[in-house]
Amino acid sequence: MRFISGGGVDTQSMLPNGTPEEVAAQVTERLPILSEGGGYVFNTIHNIVGDTRAENIWAAFEAVHKYNQKHFG
């Protein structure tokens, strides 16, 4: 098993500027790639910038939750 933390969503462009649906889509696209083989901890690589809407942060974490429910119960 490997351990990876980070890269779950682009905090410089997508998270502050995308729609909640676009944020969720990016997270959902990256999860199977980064979590292959286990040991992935969802995280961003950089800090969340100040003008990021709360709805987008929520969309990212909700996408992780839905992915985990679907794949791990």
Summarised one tens digit per residue, pLDDT across range 17-51 is: 999 999 999 999 999 998 888 888 898 877 899 99
pLDDT at residue 57 tops 90: yes
pLDDT at residue 2 tops 80: no
DSSP alpha helices (H): ranges in 10-52?
14-17, 20-34
Name the average pLDDT for the chain.
Answer: 91
pTM confidence score:
0.90
Q: For residues 47 and 37, give the distance between their C-alpha atoms in angstroms, rounded to a whole number.
A: 26
pLDDT of the residue at 10: 94
SS3 label, residue 7 = coil
Q: For residues 26 and 13, give the distance between their C-alpha atoms in angstroms, rounded to a whole number.
A: 12
Give the residue from 27, 7, 20 showing the smallest Cα distance to 52. Answer: 20
